[in-house]
A and B are shown apart, each in its own frame.
Chain A
């Protein structure tokens, strides 16, 4: 199971499944067994779909937007990198994603409403649709490039902290 498909592809692997989740979370969010079980089961099942070497399948799931709502139950504590300035970036991105999703639902309702009208206002409809497309693109950006950059920032901070303690990494 890969989270960096460009590395997996360049190195060469018989088969892989890529998921747009952060490194360390390939099999899901912490404390969410239903999500983890679903991801693991589907990954194992999809192995049987691959018929040629060097094939990487793309999982359809998006980080923090899993279709099943589940309250996390934690079973341990972390002593991992916890830079106070960096850690809020993740929740801030999640919050932004939520707001965009809510806005998209509102746009969809407006479009449906306008479509039902006996005399739909075409320029208004077109404007709403454009905004919906822009929101979709923005969500995709957060899921891929922004998440990658965030991951890089956290990894670099972890490295710097250890270097600061005199430990080479």
Chain B
């Protein structure tokens, strides 16, 4: 089925759709900052998938129930992160995020954070192994400056120190 994956194109209509969305965000949220990646690099994987240590990351606000929830009341968002031990039970996880509909993911966290599915892929030998920790954020950050300058480099260092070859990311 992977042969049926085609390339998605950013058309003029899609650009208009994005600009309309940004305009609406600017009207709703004060302190919004439209920051984009000017330089985007691609690192080609050097190992087969079956030899890769795969990490998991989401901006969907996933954290352990025992951990402090993300701050969803602040109009400036919350650029902090939460550590999830990948040995945790999936039912010990929860979502704190008010900017997308997570009714389904509340019933089954694997909809956005496929921790159980990764374990099965590891057992089947499809992936090499699972990274020991996941470092997740909550995606609502109208001004992403701290996220870009502080949180993201910290998390990149952490995943790198954990020996992650491939990081699977979901948005929220």
**Chain A residues near B (Cβ < 8 Å):** 1-15, 17-18, 22-31, 33, 36-38, 40-60, 74-82, 151, 154-155, 158-159, 162, 167-169
B1 touches A42 (CB 8 A): yes
B106 touches A31 (CB 8 A): no
Nearest CB of chain A from residue B9's CB, rounded to whole Å? 8
A82 to B75 alpha-carbon distance, docked (Å): 23
Given A44-B49, A44-B127, A45-B49, CB of A12 within 8 Å of CB of B40: yes
Given A12-B38, A60-B4, A74-B107, CB of A81 within 8 Å of CB of B101: yes
Given A4-B171, A49-B5, A77-B106, CB of A151 within 8 Å of CB of B114: no
Q: Which A-chain residue is minimally distant from B20 (CB atoms)? A: A6
A6 to B37 alpha-carbon distance, docked (Å): 14
A43 to B5 alpha-carbon distance, docked (Å): 10
Q: Indicate whether B6 reaches chain A with its CB closer than 8 angstroms.
A: yes
Q: Which residues of A contact B172 (CB under 8 A)?
A: 23-24
Q: Indicate whether B43 reaches chain A with its CB closer than 8 angstroms.
A: yes
B104 touches A24 (CB 8 A): yes
Nearest CB of chain A from residue B137's CB, rounded to whole Å? 15
Q: Indicate whether B84 reaches chain A with its CB closer than 8 angstroms.
A: no
Q: Which residues of B contact A60 (CB under 8 A)?
A: 1, 4-6
A56 to B72 alpha-carbon distance, docked (Å): 30
Neighbour of A27 across the interface among B6, B54, B117, CB < 8 A:
B117
Neighbour of B112 across the interface among A24, A38, A44, A49, CB < 8 A:
A24
Neighbour of A82 across the interface among B2, B103, B166, CB < 8 A:
B103
A19 to B1 alpha-carbon distance, docked (Å): 14
Q: Which residues of B contact A45 (CB under 8 A)?
A: 2, 49
Contact flags B4-28 to A (C-beta < 8 A → 1, else 0): 1111101000110110010000000
